[in-house]
A and B are shown apart, each in its own frame.
Chain A
């Protein structure tokens, strides 16, 4: 343990508590946003990050000759937001989100360093915190480039992120405010 959150100054514990509360709130809204734009099932995630169009499962490679499909559509459907992340947008998303995920994982890791935990547990929590964003984006890229089946990796990344945060938040809150010895 590099420092001891249990016996740290009240200001430090207050800072950590507010940071965890703020991150927790942003995670809840993050989950809400995932529900709105990508979904929580492998099929929904594959639709969002996989190849575009109706025949997305069948048409991952460009056809030999251009295929034209036409079907009626209502005004409401035209106005609907079909949130699909193509390659260019995924490049931008990866560029924008990976640094922020790294900062969040680093903040939670710094908190984990102050917890009374065996070394292996600390290492595991830190590994989990950093593995989550890697899994998240690896899943998105593999879904796009290799197979829609990799959508499950993105879901695993999302759940790993939630699990890592929950472990750190619960342990830190308990150790800072209840278990002083």
Chain B
């Protein structure tokens, strides 16, 4: 009976905490695609070869083989693009929104979702200026926001910053390899 209750307690403790919205998707779109009044969704169903290419570049590929870009336009001109990227870890998923300007550099990064457990860690990393570290980053450059903010934050916020770096790296690779594909 004791084992049973210990097992139940362990199962409860190991449960990933619920997801919380940190920034609404619409707000992220408004911030990352400013001035856009027309939007398009561009879906790329990757071939095996392209999936492999992406995997070789950054050790990641979309699990369902689809990369989705949201393109913002104003008077027929592209004002930027945005990609939502999920990063998984043992504490649950984090969702990022990564916005690009028309030149292909990062306009901004928003953390749109996380779990209840991860939220305070992420907030601490963001308050240390993590998001600013990505502004203006070219897609070919490796994100190093975590390295910059780690001396000023705790261990778990530092780990969250590494995960956010990873998500930005995945988005950059997808943008670099496939955004221009017709």
- Identify the A interface with B (CB < 8 A): 51-55, 59, 62-81, 84, 86-89, 92, 96, 99-100, 102-103, 106-107
Sample (20) of A-B pairs whose CB atoms are under 8 Å apart: A52-B64, A52-B65, A59-B45, A62-B65, A63-B45, A66-B44, A66-B46, A66-B50, A66-B178, A67-B44, A69-B43, A72-B39, A73-B41, A78-B25, A80-B25, A88-B63, A89-B93, A92-B88, A102-B11, A103-B11
* CB-CB contacts below 8 Å: B51-70 with A: 51, 62-66, 70
Contact of A92 among B16, B29, B65 (CB under 8 A): B16
Given that A62-B46, A78-B70, A96-B15 are contacting pairs, would A87 and B64 also be in contact in the complex, using a CB cutoff of 8 Å? Answer: yes
Interface size on B, residues (CB 8 A): 41
Bound CA span A163–B31, Å? 48
Q: Would you call B182 and A106 a contact (CB within 8 A)?
A: no
Contact B47 A79 (CB under 8 A): no
What is the interface of chain B, defined by CB distance below 8 A to chain A?
A: 4, 7-8, 11-12, 14-16, 24-26, 29-30, 38-51, 62-66, 70-71, 86, 88, 92-93, 178, 181-182
Task: Tell me whether A66 and B47 are in contact (CB under 8 A).
Answer: yes
Contact at B42–A68, with CB atoms within 8 Å? yes
Interface of B is mostly: mixed
CA of A70 to CA of B44, assembled, Å: 9
Contact between chains at B48 and A62 (CB < 8 Å): yes
| Structural contact, A68 and B181, CB atoms closer than 8 A | yes
Q: Which B residues touch A76, using CB under 8 A? A: 26
Which 6 pairs, one residue from A and one from B, show the smallest C-beta to C-beta distance? A79-B26, A52-B64, A86-B63, A87-B63, A99-B11, A67-B45
What's the Cα separation between A86 and B67 when bound, in Å? 12
| B residues in contact with A72, CB < 8 Å | 38-40
Decide if B40 touches A55 in the complex (CB within 8 Å): no
Q: CA separation between A73 and B86, bound complex, in Å?
A: 21
Given contacts A69-B43, A73-B39, A100-B15, contact A78 B26 (CB under 8 A): yes
Q: Out of A53, A80, A89, A92, which one reaches B45, CB within 8 Å?
A: A53
Q: How far is the CB of A20 from chain B (nearest CB, A)?
A: 16
- In the complex, which residue of chain B has the Cβ closest to the Cβ of A70? B42
